[in-house]
């Protein structure tokens, strides 16, 4: 835990609190997301790091589990402020990380801009150009398909799950929450595969577009969010058939999940689907809930979904495509070359198919066939614990 002092554009001194959680390195260097959001605290990063241990084990790649972050709010800050903050964060983080030690990647509030400033600071402080961070720009060590990987992988996972019941993604009506990296690319792949995506959201509210969000509308969202850093409300100004519903913290449920849909992809943050939301989804005959975010369903919501035999995939399995392509970024860095997009996408598809198979097999073996949550936990745990036992008491 460390202080992150920086100076804002009004020359005021600001101090944030940073964290690096190194949870398990038995199968590879610590690796996980780095989150910049005002809600960040040690507890949240510990759950992320814990989930990451099993997730990374499932990817088939040699990656241990960790997480890092800070209670810094990038929203509303200038690029210069974000840069100064990232440089101060790295001044401490550099002591703990490294290509063979701990390799942070993107998460909430940490995208290509932040990784760029962090990587520049890391390179200056260490005098080394190494793959010590992932999510790098394509021209300076990044991998093709890394920005898309978590979202695309989530949809590939959903397609595998639907196939077990003889269904396909095509023509399914889908709810997607969030409008950041994971939500955008989940929506993108769903649209490419012929699904009907009808919602997106941010922390201020959600938009419902009964006509469906198509590729052109999604391109507007990408410009809005990634370049202008605007709010999702503006979608409803641009497309008048769409309805904007502001978030209401006094409610014990989120109206987004009361929309009718076949498939649901929570891609914003933890605990965004509670018990009441799960019942609302079931009342609308939902078939599948596939987690793009980390732990978006509360444990009560999961119990409701599993009780009704809904296809449910935990984030540690369904969103593992993000960290998997981070792992492939590191492979490319070590080889000092850059694979074509087709090669990365094909590897991503193979990894997701393998995770899906592993989860189903472990669930079956444990006597809970079709329970992807048990399958992911057991398969991840067994791999990690075997490595720990092999390596002795250290
Ligand atoms: P982004 O910062 O790109 O986007 C986050 C989105 O979620 C924004 O729309 C944001 O809205 C919304 N959001 C964040 N916090 C809250 C909140 N407390 N309540 C409601 N909405 C909120 O992050 P990512 O897309 O990268 O991450 C989304 C989820 O996916 C997280 O759970 C992350 O851990 C997980 N994940 C990310 C991966 C990656 O590679 N980036 C890989 C695997 C999982 P607003 O702008 O208003 O804050
Ligand atoms: O939750 C996650 O798997 C991520 N945020 C991605 C981490 C990474 O190292 O790419």
According to the model, what pLDDT value does residue 341 have? 98
Q: pLDDT band at residue 166, thresholds of 50, 70 and 90? A: very high
Q: pLDDT digit string (tens) for 114-124?
A: 999 999 999 99
Which one of the ligands is nearest to 147 CA?
A: 1
Residue 291 contacts residue 30 (beta carbons within 8 Å): no
Q: How far away, in angstroms, is 247 Cα from ligand 2 center?
A: 27
pLDDT of residue 65: 98
Q: Ligand 1: which residue has its CA nearest to atom 39?
A: 107
**How many C-beta atoms lie closer than 10 Å to residue 233's C-beta?**
16
Nearest ligand 2 atom, CA 323: 10
End-to-end CA distance of the chain: 23
When pLDDT is cut at 50, 70 and 90, the band that residue 368 belongs to is very high
Please indicate whether residue 202, judged by its CB atom, sits closer than 6 Å to ligand 1.
Answer: yes
Q: Which atom of ligand 1 is nearest to the CA of 294?
A: 32
Helix, strand, coil: what percent of the chain each, to 5? Answer: 45, 15, 35
Average of per-residue pLDDT across 326-349: 98
DSSP bridge partners of 196: 173
Instruction: Give the pLDDT band (50/70/90) at residue 26.
Output: very high
List the structure tokens of 74: 């990038």
How much distance in Å is there from the Cα of 238 to the middle of ligand 2? 32
322 C-alpha to ligand 2 centroid (Å): 6
CA distances from 187 to 65, 177, 248 (A): 27, 10, 24
Identify whether the C-beta of residue 162 lies closer than 8 Å to the C-beta of residue 365: no
Whole-number percent of the chain with pLDDT over 90:
100
pLDDT tens-digit profile of 230-244? 999 999 999 999 999
Calculate how far, in angstroms, residue 211's C-alpha sits from the geometric centre of ligand 2. Answer: 33
Strands 288-290 and 263-265: parallel
Q: How far is the CA of 380 from the centre of ligand 1 (A)?
A: 24
pLDDT (0 to 100) of residue 159: 98
Nearest by Cα to 191 from 172, 209, 210:
172
pLDDT in tens, 193-217: 999 999 999 999 999 999 999 999 9
User: What pLDDT does 100 receive?
Assistant: 97
Question: Is-contact 200 206, C-beta < 8 A?
Answer: yes
pTM assigned to the model: 0.98
What does the alpha-carbon distance between residue 316 and residue 294 come to, in Å, rounded to a whole number? 7
The string of pLDDT tens digits covering residues 58-111 is: 999 999 999 999 999 999 999 999 999 999 999 999 999 999 999 999 999 999
C-beta separation of 150 from 176 below 8 A: no
CA–centroid distance, 10 to ligand 2, in Å, is 33
Ligand 2 mutation pick, 28, 34, 52, max ligand atoms within 8 A of CB: 52
User: Residue 369 CB: number of other CB atoms within 10 A?
Assistant: 12
- pLDDT of 80 reads 98
């Amino acid at each position: 835990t460390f202080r992150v002092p920086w100076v804002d554009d009004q020359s005021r001194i600001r101090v944030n609190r940073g964290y690096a959680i190194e949870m398990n390195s038995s199968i590879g260097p610590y690796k996980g997301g780095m989150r910049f959001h005002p809600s960040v605290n040690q507890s949240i990063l510990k759950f992320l790091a814990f989930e990451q241990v099993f997730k990374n084990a499932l990817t088939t790649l040699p990656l241990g589990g960790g997480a890092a972050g800070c209670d810094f709010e990038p929203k509303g800050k200038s690029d210069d402020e974000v840069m100064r903050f990232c440089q101060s964060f790295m001044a401490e983080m550099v002591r703990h990380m490294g290509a063979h030690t701990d390799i942070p990647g993107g998460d909430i509030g940490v995208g290509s801009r932040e990784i760029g400033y962090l990587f520049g600071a890391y390179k200056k402080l260490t005098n080394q150009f190494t793959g010590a961070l992932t999510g790098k720009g394509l021209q300076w060590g990044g991998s093709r398909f890394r920005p898309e990987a978590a979202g695309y992988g989530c949809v590939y996972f959903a397609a595998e799950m639907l196939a077990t019941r003889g269904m396909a993604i095509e023509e399914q009506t889908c709810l997607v929450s969030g409008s950041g990296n994971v939500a955008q690319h989940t929506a993108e792949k769903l649209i490419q595969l012929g699904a009907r995506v009808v919602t997106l959201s941010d922390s201020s509210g959600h938009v419902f577009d009964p006509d469906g969000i198509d590729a052109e509308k999604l391109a507007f969202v990408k410009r809005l969010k990634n370049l202008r850093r605007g709010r999702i409300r503006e979608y409803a100004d641009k497309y008048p058939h769409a309805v904007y519903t502001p978030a209401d913290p006094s409610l014990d449920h989120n109206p987004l999940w009361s929309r009718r849909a076949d498939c649901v992809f929570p891609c914003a943050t933890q605990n965004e689907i509670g018990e009441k939301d799960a019942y609302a989804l079931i009342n609308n005959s939902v078939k599948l809930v596939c987690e793009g975010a980390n732990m978006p369903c509360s444990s009560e919501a999961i119990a409701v979904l599993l009780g009704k035999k809904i296809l449910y995939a935990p984030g540690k399995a369904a969103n593992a495509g993000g960290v998997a392509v981070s792992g492939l970024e590191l492979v490319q860095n070590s080889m000092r070359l850059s694979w074509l997009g087709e090669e990365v996408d094909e590897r991503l598809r193979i990894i997701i198919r393998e995770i899906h198979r592993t989860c189903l097999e472990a669930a079956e073996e444990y006597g809970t066939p079709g329970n992807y949550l048990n399958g992911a936990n057991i398969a991840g745990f067994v791999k990690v614990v075997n490595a720990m036992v092999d390596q002795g008491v250290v």
